[in-house]
Amino acid sequence: MQKQIKLKHGISENGELQVYQIDQILDDAGNVLTEKTHPPYSPADPKDMKDFDAKSIELVAAVEDKKVKTDFVAEKQEPTGVGLEEIVKYDRMVDDLGRIAVRRVTRYYDEGIEIGKKYHRSWIMPGDNPEGNDVLSKAIATKLHTADVITAYETKMAEAELVAEGKLTEK
């Protein structure tokens, strides 16, 4: 058995980086036996990222861009506390392949009191056009979906398809 530490990355509804440390115990074949996900942590100062990994630094650079921040403030909705309101916000998780899970959270308010909410999940895959998504999701996709990431993703998906068809065995 061996221990492996992985990081999971997200961007909150408020545009803050959230990094989750995942401790995994693997068997000798590399299969995950158990894992523990720690609470998320965020940089105290997004300008000081010295103790964070490269993906965290890229994500912060994407959301801290001046134009992105300005557009995010313009897009951001907050309840006014008057009458019935529908407020939409988004949070995002980025996986190891560069896929971005975008969760739209629609909250309903009556006189400023939340009375309900619903969720909808969508994905931005490497190579997808991010237009039509919220400001931060587009910025993240633009920053992370480099030609190398797109090629690696397409290769992985092609291999997975061959495995599913029985034409290739898993590595």
- 1-24 in b/e form (b: 16+ CB < 10 A) is eeeeeeebbbbbeebebbbeeeeb
The residue segments making up the domain with residue 59 are: 2-164
CA torsion angle 160 59 45 5 (round to 10):
10
The answer to whether position 169 is within a domain reads no
Note the pLDDT of residue 104.
97
**Residue 71 is assigned to a structural domain of this protein:** yes
Q: Is 138 within 8 Å of 122 (Cβ atoms)? A: no
Entry pTM: 0.87
pLDDT at 48: 92
Largest CA distance in the chain: 60
Residue-wise pLDDT for 79-98, tens only, equals 999 999 999 999 999 999 99
Q: Residue 83: its pLDDT value, please? A: 96
Is 18 among the domain residues?
Answer: yes
Residue 171: its pLDDT value, please? 57
**154 belongs to a structural domain:** yes
Is the confidence at residue 167, as pLDDT, over 90? Answer: no
**Residue 137 domain-assigned (yes or no):** yes
Grouping H, G, I as helix, E, B as strand and the rest as coil, residue 87 is strand
> Percent of the chain having pLDDT more than 70?
99
Indicate whether 86 belongs to any domain.
yes
| 8-64 residue pLDDT tens | 999 999 999 999 999 999 999 999 999 999 999 999 999 999 989 999 999 999 999
- pLDDT tens figures, 136-159: 999 999 999 999 999 999 999 999
First-to-last C-alpha distance (Å) of the chain: 19
> How many domains in the chain?
1
pLDDT, residue 59, reads 96
pLDDT tens column, 114-132: 999 999 999 999 999 999 9
